């Protein structure tokens, strides 16, 4: 019985098949590469948009937090102020004038500094710095403020001979309170509706006299 045998594939035919498969594979990889690049571009655009949106939200949050911090400081300031006059009587003072947010300037009209609370009693004054939670850097700034006052002629203080200094806050860290007292500042601590005043051993007193 005679058996029919298919003609064997030639070398050229085999290479043609391999070349086609190779070309198909390359074409498929090129399509996948293009899709990957498009996906990467899309993700990059989405990431940039996300960062832009996040930065905008962070800016708003920072501004709002700053405003909230300022409002907290104002709240503490107005909670502290009403009780100060009577409270300082216990320390031998007789303050009867209380001023909020006083802008101090020299006799030449040059602005020096802003005082949160200023207490006046004849020839004595008390400069009070108010912070929600005072920090050591606040103490340094307040000390510098007091030196500015001492070194300049301020019409508002024309009858003042002694200027005392105090720091008020709703929350005091122990080390900050100790440093404030060591610097000679009175420490005014707000606790709910009451305030406590801590007297320094060596008071920071600016001898002040325009005469």
Neighbours of 100 (CB within 10 A): 14
For residue range 31-49, list pLDDT tens digits in order: 777 877 777 787 778 767 7
For residue range 82-141, list pLDDT tens digits in order: 678 888 988 989 888 888 888 888 777 677 788 888 999 888 999 999 888 899 999 999
Among 4-8, 153-157, 171-175, the least confident range:
4-8
Q: How confident is the model at residue 80 (pLDDT cuts 50, 70, 90)?
A: low
Please tell me what DSSP assigns to residue 203.
-
> Does pTM surpass 0.85?
no
Please tell me what DSSP assigns to residue 157.
G
Contacts 24+ apart (CB under 8 A), 16-19: none
Domains annotated on the chain, with CATH: 81-207 (3.40.1350)
Q: For position 41, what pLDDT does the model report?
A: 80
Q: Residues 90, 183, 205, 106: is their CA dihedral positive or negative?
A: negative
């Amino acid at each position: 019985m005679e058996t029919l045998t298919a003609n064997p594939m030639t070398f050229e035919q085999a290479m043609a098949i391999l070349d086609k498969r190779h070309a198909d594979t390359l074409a498929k990889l090129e399509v996948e590469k293009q899709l990957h690049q498009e996906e990467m571009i899309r993700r990059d655009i989405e990431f940039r948009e996300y960062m832009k949106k996040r930065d905008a939200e962070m800016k708003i949050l920072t501004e709002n937090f700053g405003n909230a911090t300022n409002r907290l400081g104002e709240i503490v300031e107005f909670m502290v102020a009403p009780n100060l006059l009577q409270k300082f009587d216990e320390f031998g003072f007789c303050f009867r004038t209380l001023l909020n947010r006083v802008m101090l300037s020299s006799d030449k009209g040059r602005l020096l500094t802003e005082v949160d609370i200023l207490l006046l009693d004849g020839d004595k004054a008390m400069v009070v710095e108010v912070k929600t939670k005072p920090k050591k850097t606040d103490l340094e700034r307040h000390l510098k403020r007091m030196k500015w006052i001492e070194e300049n002629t301020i019409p508002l203080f024309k009858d003042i001979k002694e200027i005392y200094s105090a720091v008020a806050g709703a929350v005091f860290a122990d080390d900050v309170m100790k440093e404030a007292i060591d610097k000679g500042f009175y420490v005014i601590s707000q606790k709910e509706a009451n305030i406590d005043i801590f007297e320094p051993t060596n008071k920071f007193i600016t001898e002040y006299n325009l005469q």
